[in-house]
Chain A
Amino acid sequence: MEHPILFISIILEKLGLPVPHGPVGHTFLEQICAPYMTYTWLVMAFLFLVSRLTLGNLEMIPGKGQNFWELVIGGMDDFFADNMGREMADKFFPMIATFALYIGVANLIGLIPGFMSPTSSLNTTLALTVIVWISHHIIGFREHGLNYYKHFMGPIWWLVPLLLPIELISNLARLISLSIRLFGNIMAKETLLAILFMLAGGFFAPLPIMLLGVLVSIVQAMVFVLLTVVYFSQAQEHAH
């Protein structure tokens, strides 16, 4: 379903750039001007500028902006350290915290009229998931070498023919479930908002769903990050 009003797309069309009206554009320029791409750049610019402006230079006695970021970053750091150990949390903090901030802001931005969540497109979430999936294999391989494949073989050697396909399928299903969970939730939220707005927008019908949407956005960002942390720590630990 096409989003009704997207102000970046309208501005780009006024500037004469081709904005695709299907899910994917045909030429390279159309693909760059697709709404989920432009809004991804917007979210990135927002995160960059806000952290730049509020965090000018670090001080011993933190001001308002620095206090906020210390709370966010410190809270995430404690959360990762609780779930994957201090050493791994230090190692992978930049990557996973970037995911958390990006997904959180990208989910929440869709609640403002005229904006769209980049995460309501499967392209964005699948890209994030492929990064997580490949890096958890790399982590496991670097830690255990070829012994990493014992993770897929179960505890007893004569159960290998039975367990190997199951483990492989469940590992590949992570790609689908992690990406489509985020995509499905956010797209359902956006579609519901659009439908309620068309039905009874004058009577503030989408308002309760917007309140629910704040909750869903934060919980889905947290679930994505939590599952990333769990996959990483599972790849790190020894085969049973």
Chain B
Amino acid sequence: MEGNLQLALICVGAALSIGLAGLGAGIGIGSVGNGACQGLARNPEVQPKLMVFMILGMALAESVAIYGLVISLILLYANPLLG
């Protein structure tokens, strides 16, 4: 019984970890895309240069979600507290 509760809490923790991290990263990537689109609408000539910075910014914002993914994978597959 106690083991089941433990497993359930681990699953909830893993889901919350990637879920909340994905929420934050989604907002971040959205604002990067917003800025890139506005910049592009005002000055279409900078498109190749802007593309690089946009993808770089998206990758950096996305890495937050990836840390969440790491935590949830550790919780599920390599939990150090579970023994």
Contacts and interface: CB of A to CB of B under 8 A. Distances in A.
Given A223-B59, A226-B59, A180 B69 contact: yes
A184 interface: yes
A226 B62 CA distance: 15
Contact of A226 (B52, B63, B66): B52
Interface residues of A, number: 14
Interface in A187-224: 188, 219, 222-223
Contacts of B52: 82-83, 226
Interface string A161-201: 00000000000000011001100100010000000000000
A83 B53 CA distance: 11
Contacts of A188: 69
A177 B56 contact: no
B55 interface: yes
Nearest to A229: B52
A184 B55 contact: no
A23 B40 CA distance: 45
Which has the most chain B C-beta neighbours within 10 Å: A82, A184, A219, A226?
A184
Contacts of B63: 177, 181
Given A180-B69, A181-B66, A230 B56 contact: yes
B70 A180 contact: yes
A181 B62 contact: yes
Contacts of A230: 56
Contacts of B58: 223
A-B complex: 4 closest residue pairs judged by Cβ atoms:
A177-B63, A223-B59, A184-B69, A180-B66
